[in-house]
A and B are shown apart, each in its own frame.
Chain A
Amino acid sequence: LQGTKNRRRKWDIGKLIYMDNVSPSTCIKRWRGVEDDDENDENADDEEEDFFSKKDGAITNKSEADDDLEKFKPHFETFKNLMSKWSNFDSIKSRLVGTSRPTSTNK
């Protein structure tokens, strides 16, 4: 059982993107290494099953708006999460001009 975990491949996103038999959501999951209990060990043959189930599944499972991709606004977390995340600007400090000035601006 341990073996199966170690066998998990590190996916190359460049290739994964153009593997048409893998649905984009699965691509992202694999690439990020998110554990997906159902398809832990059966990578190769699962792809095809995935392919078949996804097509009908995508329409029924997800709300239409999700699948639509016509949405312009990107996805954001909820207000609460964002608020706690951005209580200070440390993580984007390098991106802001003038933050080399007194660091006290963060307090």
Chain B
Amino acid sequence: MSTPRFATFQGCRNFRLLIVLATLSGKPIRVEKIRSDDLNPGLRDHEVSFLRLMEAMTNGSSIEISYTGTTVIYRPGIITGGSYTHQCPPGKPVGYYVEPMLYLAPFSKKKFSVIFRGVTASHQDAGLEAIKWGLMPIMEKFGVRECALHTLKRGSPPLGGGEVHLVVDSLIAQPITMHALESPQISSIRGVAYSTRVSPSMVNRMIDGARKVLKNVGCEVDITADVWRGDNSGKSPGWGITLVAESKKGWRYFSEGIGDAGDVPEDIGALIAYELLEEISKSAVVGRSQLALAIVFMVIGKEDIGRLRITKSQIDEKFIWLLRYIKQIFGTEVFLKPVDDADSDDLIATIKGVGFTNTNKKIA
């Protein structure tokens, strides 16, 4: 059991990322002590469901879970993709499952066409617009042009009833080497405010709240209303807003949020607008929630040096964990050096790609 061939990790931290990195690198991993001190130890429903999804999207993977569920051994197979329908347990929204799929989908044998059913919004995980307008543009920058997330039904928490369709048609051999040394300028702010099974006035009130904050920002602000009614609006009432700041070159920063019962729509709108400004101030080329995807794509790029400008505030615990896990699995380190500009504290993250090639595709 204790063969040193496994890269061993402890705790449930970044569980999805570990599985994704292991799959991309082809290295078996062992995750131990998953909530071993918890009253209810072991993997949660959503993690098991995620493993099932991984099993469906790959061929030849083997997953061993210990009796208590506190240890998982994962031996990755090849990424096969294809058509699949995944029923997401209600604890986590579809974004939780879609997000890791984005890391794998471009390097699959067949095109990804996966339908996810479940809750489509939450406070913590990626919302639909965040994926569509936040993460997919990043993939585009790395050469994954044809990917889309179609919203067939929205389903607010707690009951859900939403349905989304993830389609990734570009299968690429490896991501393009990134050179992004300048912080892009934002040319417009877009957004969407949506609601399911509540009065459409909620949507307009959220837009008002956000607009008020962004009134003097100096660029075009365009927030659309997206009201869902009838069968396609899921089983629960809910509402939320996503704001995206975009540059001419296609970089995006975003913030998103949903309202709970008792929240004032204007406040949520304003809060998300403030969060967008905060996110812009903390980001260089990519936002904090986009950083992991960008870094991973840089790591699995060509054997060439990729460069990405980041800010000081983007170096947080999450970033350090990411880099440590990448080092443990891929053996690659990220070098950080300050930018030449004296006015700025930004850093350039320099990464040499591991020369990953999409072997899955060649076999087909």
Contacts and interface: CB of A to CB of B under 8 A. Distances in A.
B1 interface: no
A71 B294 CA distance: 17
Contact of A95 (B16, B38, B185, B323): B185
A28 B289 contact: no
Contact of B278 (A24, A60, A64, A86): A86
Contacts of A45: none
A13 to B, nearest CB: 6
A44 interface: no
Contacts of A14: 335-337
Contacts of B99: 72
Interface in A68-107: 68-77, 79, 82-83, 85-86, 88-89, 91-92, 95-99, 101, 105-107
A73 B124 contact: yes
B185 A97 contact: yes
A95 B123 CA distance: 28
Contact of B315 (A28, A64, A72): A28
A71 B321 CA distance: 13
B340 interface: no
Interface in B7-32: 10-16
Nearest to B275: A76
Nearest to A85: B278
A38 interface: no
B183 interface: yes
A28 B274 contact: no
A18 B219 contact: no
Contacts, number: 132
Interface in A40-79: 55-56, 58-60, 64-65, 67-77, 79
A105 B130 contact: no
Given A24-B320, A70-B15, A86 B213 contact: yes
A25 interface: yes
A71 B288 CA distance: 12
- Interface of chain A: mostly helix, strand, loop or mixed: helix
Given A28-B317, A79-B267, A74 B13 contact: no
Interface in A3-60: 13-14, 17-18, 20, 24-25, 27-28, 31, 55-56, 58-60
Contact of B256 (A17, A67, A73, A88): A73
Interface in B329-350: 333-337, 347
A60 B36 CA distance: 11
Interface in B99-119: 99
Contacts of A55: 10
Contact of B186 (A24, A68, A79, A97): A97
A75 B275 CA distance: 10
B179 interface: no
B77 interface: no
Contacts of B213: 86
Contacts of B216: 88-89, 105-107
Nearest to A16: B320
Nearest to B318: A69
B12 A56 contact: no
Contacts of B347: 13
A18 B333 contact: yes
Interface of B: 10-16, 35, 37-38, 95-96, 99, 123-126, 130, 183, 185-187, 213, 216-219, 247-248, 256, 267, 270-271, 274-275, 277-281, 287-289, 315-318, 320-321, 323-324, 327, 333-337, 347
Interface of A: 13-14, 17-18, 20, 24-25, 27-28, 31, 55-56, 58-60, 64-65, 67-77, 79, 82-83, 85-86, 88-89, 91-92, 95-99, 101, 105-107
Q: Which 9 A-B pairs have the closest CB atoms?
A: A24-B320, A82-B274, A74-B288, A24-B317, A97-B187, A72-B126, A14-B336, A97-B185, A69-B14
25 contacts: A13-B336, A13-B347, A17-B320, A17-B334, A20-B324, A24-B320, A59-B37, A59-B38, A64-B38, A70-B12, A70-B16, A71-B124, A71-B125, A72-B126, A73-B125, A83-B270, A86-B278, A89-B217, A89-B277, A92-B281, A95-B186, A97-B185, A97-B248, A98-B187, A105-B217
